[in-house]
Homo-oligomer: A and B are copies of this chain.
Amino acid sequence: MSSGAPGAPNGTPDRHQVVVAIDVGGSRMKCALVHRDGTVARIEHHPTQTARGPAAVVDTILDIAEALADTARHEGLAPVAFGLAVPGVIDEAAGVAIWSSNLGFREVPLRTLATARLGMPAVLGHDVRVGGVAEARLGAGRADRHVLFVAIGTGIAAAHVVDGTAAAGAHGAAGELGHVLVRPGGPRCGCGRAGCLEAIASAAAVARRYAELTDSTPGLSAAEVVAHATAGDPLAQQVWTEAVEALADGLAIGQTLFDVETVVLGGGLARAGAQLLDPLRAALHDRMTFHREPRLVPAALGAEAGCLGAALLALDSLEKR
């Protein structure tokens, strides 16, 4: 290889350098090699298999990262950093996964483990925050400086992104929009409180509520409830209207505190498209008084947002060197 640009690690030219990125979800890991200019060299998906326990999941993450780095080298590329995104409460500064209920992680020093195993700089991020960073910089919010990314899936979480950086909070727990109170005395949430947004408007809550009302087991998925509502099923319409109204209350609270230009909706339930966006936009509009109404748009990067965001985090760490 020729000598690289001044300051390039290993003397490799920038255009041959890639970062390894992995976004660990409850069921799948989205993995990639990403060039320094943000273009994707390779995408892979692997099962997470959380039932094996947290230690096995950590091993798999490191095995995949090492294999991806080897693949890069075989293709004449130089892996120079590793970006890892996981769900839960993440201390990004310390590189520690404090608490991740899906994966069973408790105080796992992932950055240190990854740096030791891979022999390259590693950074740890929060899955929704890095997804928000990717949507804000490269996706549906790329025209704006102030973006709220909201992921609506099994749970609900948000990332407040200003000038391409997501707020992590003092303890890595900022942006937990799923746990703002919207229905005092309402349904019990997984977190222990009653009336959290997530207990009414997440995909899990929509499915559960429809099953309750129809006394059906196992009942429909949230996507099926939306389809039934569109087809005229009055109970499905009731459940979906309750979810949309609660979401509008949650987004209005977000806008009241953050004052963003654009709200980007991602996650599985956002794939309901116009069935979600049209009534939600109307309900949010009704709630705006002194506020500037934000644009409400669907995510643009799909399931790869978290993986791209993990890569951006790794690329940012290189810029800072």
Interface residues of A (CB under 8 A from B): 89, 99, 144-146, 158, 160, 162, 167-177, 179-184, 191-193, 249, 252-254, 256-261, 287, 289-292
B184 & A249 in contact (Cβ 8 Å cutoff): yes
Which B residue sits closest to A260, measured CB to CB? B170
Which B residue sits closest to A197, measured CB to CB? B256
Contacts of A260 in B (CB 8 A): 169-170
Contacts of A145 in B (CB 8 A): 170
Count of this chain's copies in the oligomeric assembly:
2
Could you write out 7 A-B pairs with CB less than 8 Å apart?
A170-B260, A171-B292, A173-B291, A176-B256, A181-B253, A181-B287, A254-B257
B192 & A289 in contact (Cβ 8 Å cutoff): yes
A252 & B181 in contact (Cβ 8 Å cutoff): yes
Which B residue sits closest to A250, measured CB to CB? B181
User: Given A181-B182, A182-B181, A183-B184, A173–B290 Cβ distance below 8 Å?
Assistant: yes
Contacts of A252 in B (CB 8 A): 181
B170 & A261 in contact (Cβ 8 Å cutoff): yes
Which B residue sits closest to A292, measured CB to CB? B171
Known: A169-B258, A193-B289. 11 other contacts (CB 8 A): A89-B290, A144-B170, A158-B257, A173-B292, A175-B259, A176-B256, A176-B259, A181-B287, A183-B184, A184-B249, A191-B290
